[in-house]
Amino acid sequence: MWEGFVRSLQIASGEGQPMQAIEQAHAVPGRGIEGDRYHSGNGHFSKEGKKSYEITLIEHEALIALKRDYGYDLLPLDARRNIVTVGVPLNHLVWKEFYVGEVKLLGRRLCEPCFHLVKLTSNHLALSGLLHRGGLRAQIITEGVINLGDPIRMSDTQYIAQAEQATEMHKEPVEQPI
**At a CB cut-off of 8 Å and minimum separation 6, what does 64 contact?**
none
Identify the structural domains of the chain with CATH numbers, from first to last: 4-168 (2.40.33.20)
Q: Is 63 strand, coil or helix? A: helix
Q: Give the pLDDT confidence of 26-73 residue by residue, as tens digits.
A: 999 999 999 999 887 776 565 665 556 799 999 999 999 999 998 888
Task: Tell me which of 72-76, 114-118, 126-130, 174-178 is least confident.
Answer: 174-178
CA angle centred on 151, ends 147 and 153, rounded to 5°? 135
Predicted TM-score of the model (pTM): 0.86
Task: Tell me which of 35-39, 93-97, 118-122, 139-143 is least confident.
Answer: 118-122
